[in-house]
Structure 1
Amino acid sequence: MISPSHGPDDSAFALQFAAVTDAAARVDGYAPLNEQATLDVAARRRTPLLLRDGDAIMGPVVGALVLGAGELDLVVHPDFRRHGHATAALTELFGDPAFAADVPDGLTAWAHGDHPAARALAGRFGFDAVRRLLQLQLALDAAAPPAAVPPATTAADDIGITAFDPDTDADAWVALNARTFAAHPEQGGITAADLADRMNEDWFDAGDFLVARHDTALIGYNWLKLEQGAAEGEIYVVGVSPEWSGRGLGRRLMTAGLERLRRRGVTQATLYVEADNGPAVRLYRSLGFTDRTVDVQYRRRTR
């Protein structure tokens, strides 16, 4: 059964929820919830729930859910998989009027890793695959020569690549990001408050947030995400102003970002990219990135 949530401020609930997601990450090799879902739970924009075995409200916890904002995330603890718990949870979710407000037409759900069981479950409950998100990886050679356009230098065409300044660049970056990702369902909607949330994360370092400037205008960026002491770093998001697309600025920003990662001691770079973004996928593959995992977003058909 789906257990009522007492919220992330309830320490016992938080521990049980984390026990499920941490176990799944260890066994699967990737996190069962993406960053946006985690931030939404912390900000109370979406509701975390526990999945328990049987009808007892204090039965053993076998999974976790996140609901709200037209989205669903569901993860079953590795020790309890293949026992029908996900099927039981979705049957309850779509059949109980108490959840009606959280399961609107067009409900979306991410399947991290594109597991065959997730595909079968999606089909059984009327979900269609609508997006494929590739995670790519690149091994970094610490002995590689410096990048042609390293951070904090200015190229001959008066484009400078420098560190992001939180005090002066925030508003300009939000506007640039909105233009760059105008058609993207998540990235294009990032607000100043969303940016502030991310800058408050422990991993944020303005020196890892590279921005390209022409005169005083921001025209592109490569935001890197490095957890403290980790050997792996993420190309968090790369964007180029539409007016500057097709001029090689994306490659220069990627080159600068990879060099920054090398200088920070990172040995493995990762990134996410929409599978249907042909120009970006070709750029990353030309730099040596290879496939790591595939995430699939499903949308439930209109009733």
Structure 2
Amino acid sequence: MTSDDTAPIARSIETRSALSPDQAEAVLDLLADAARNDGQQAVSEQGRLQLRGGAREGVSHLLLTVDDELVGYAQLEDTDPVEAPAAELVVHPSHRGHGHGRALGSALLAASGRRLRVWAHGGHSSARHLAQVLGLTLFRELRQMRRPLTGFGLPEPKLPEGVTVRTFVPGEDDAAWLAVNAEAFAHHPEQGSLTQRDLDDRQGEPWFDPRGFFLAEREGRLVGFHWTKVHAQEQLGEVYVLGVAPGAQGGGLGRALTVVGLRHLAAQELPTAMLYVDADNKAAVSVYERMGFTTYETDLMYRTET
């Protein structure tokens, strides 16, 4: 989420259930310009994937234009059966300071029935100001943590007895992975609700590499996984998704899978690894800190009062 000050100006906001290819490219160009200016993306990977491929249930796109020029974008996702709809928004850097952020935020509040959660990636002061203007309060803190992959070694992974690790086979492991992912992240609606379409979207991305997608099995049954990701341009390796089935938790499998993935990333001569973790997940933060990770930046989520 990025913000601006308010000033009277002519603008138009159009809400669509799906974007045309040209509209999707225009939004991606806007996001790229904003990312170069702000230092991080204003819309998450999931949100960027949802720009293409037609309509998706519960997803709306808000396009803010001035004189037919796209200068702002917001995405609203209303798929969680319990939580309020979630949103992300951005205004082009050269058009900030004219009230476009507030206009998009107000449109999101209206579309959600004033039940709204909004991400502010990077937690910039302008986004905090916009949240206050819209009457939103801080709800969630997501940390990006990093550690070097060079300079000190990674130990051999110590897998629990009877557990073996192999790599993901697209088309064969999809259903089993989706089932365990849903179990492992039942408390995490954004990750736990991934569908075959979401998995297909990611497998179609240039960064997807099954050689970095590790599955842990016991007696032929999937019990955990570590999906790594390489950000080639930034020379970053990511602990993209790490999950352990409920029945296999507490035996050291998560730590072992983390090491498996980090060793894979280090073997590609990447200098740094990153991951995301909720700040209130004290146990996970503590584990990652013991593995050499430190907080690099923070994303904040704001919401309407409940």
TM (normalized to structure 1)? 0.85
Q: 1:229 to 1:72 in 2, by over 3 A?
A: closer
Query: Structure 1's 91 and 168: CA in aligned 2 closer, same or farther, altered over 3 A?
Result: closer
**Which residue number in structure 2 is paired with residue 97 of structure 1?**
none
Confirm or deny that 1:71 pairs with 2:80: no
The answer to whether residue 41 in structure 2 is matched with residue 28 in structure 1 is no
Deviation at 1:136, TM superposition (A): 0.9
State how 1:1-303 maps to structure 2 within 5 Å.
1-4=11-14, 8-11=19-22, 13-43=23-53, 44-45=55-56, 46-53=59-66, 56=67, 58=68, 60-69=69-78, 70-91=85-106, 94=109, 100=110, 102-141=111-150, 144-145=152-153, 147-149=155-157, 157-228=161-232, 231-301=235-305
Deviation at 1:30, TM superposition (A): 0.9
Structure 1 unpaired stretches of 5+: 95-99
Q: Contact conserved, 2:159 with 2:252, CA < 8 A, in 1?
A: no
Distance apart, 1:287 and its partner CA: 0.9
Amino acid at match of 2:86: E
C-alpha distance in structure 2 between counterparts of 1:164 and 1:198, whole Å: 13
Flag the 1:229–1:126 CA change in 2: closer, same or farther, 3 A: closer
| Identity score, percent | 37
Query: How many Å apart are 1:83 and its aligned residue?
Result: 3.4
Per-residue deviation, residues 116-170 of structure 1 (Å, max 9, x unmatched): 22122112212222211111111211x6546403xxxx95822212211224322
- Partner amino acid for 1:18? L
Give the Cα separation in 1 of the matches to 2:222 and 2:173. Answer: 8
Give the TM-score of the pair, scaled to structure 2.
Answer: 0.84
Structure 1 residues 14, 242: closer, same or farther in 2, change over 3 A? closer
Q: Is the CA contact (8 Å cut-off) linking 2:76 and 2:108 kept in structure 1?
A: no
After alignment, is 257-266 or 35-44 more displaced? 35-44
Question: Does the 8 A contact of 1:41 with 1:47 survive in 2?
Answer: no
- One-letter amino acid of the counterpart of residue 290, structure 1: T
Q: Judge conservation of contact 2:73–2:104 (CA < 8 Å) in 1.
A: no
- Opposite residue 20 of structure 2, the aligned amino acid is D
- Give the Cα separation in 2 of the matches to 1:301 and 1:173: 36
CA distance in 2, matches of 1:111, 1:155: 38
Give the aligned residue type for 1:49: L
Q: Tell me by how many angstroms 1:205 deviates.
A: 1.2
Query: Equivalents in 1 of 2:160, 2:43: separation in Å?
Result: 43
Q: Does the residue aligned with 1:294 lie in a helix, a strand or coil?
A: strand
Deviations 1:250-296 (A, max 9, x none): 11111111100011222111111111111111111111111111111
Tell me: CA distance 1:215–1:27, structure 2 relative to 1, closer, same or farther (3 Å): same
1:16, CA displacement in angstroms?
A: 3.4
| Matched-pair contact (CA < 8 Å) for 2:122–2:297 | yes
Instruction: Give the secondary structure class of the aligned counterpart of 1:218.
Output: strand
**C-alpha separation in 2, matches of 1:164 and 1:28:** 35
Distance verdict in 2 for CA 1:155–1:3, change over 3 Å: closer
C-alpha distance in 2 between matches for 1:199 and 1:10 = 20
- Give unpaired runs (5+ residues) of structure 2: 1-10, 79-84
Change in 2 beyond 3 A, CA 1:193/1:14: closer
In structure 1, how many angstroms separate the alpha carbons of the residues matched to 2:203 and 2:193?
17
Match of 2:7 in 1: none
Q: How far apart, in 1, do the equivalents of 2:32 and 2:104 lie?
A: 20
Residue identity matched to 1:180? A
SS at structure 2 position matched to 1:4? strand
Q: Distance in 2 between matches of 1:131 and 1:229?
A: 29
DSSP 3-state at the match of 1:90: helix
Residue 228 of structure 2 contacts residue 239 of structure 2 at CA under 8 Å; is this kept in 1?
Answer: yes
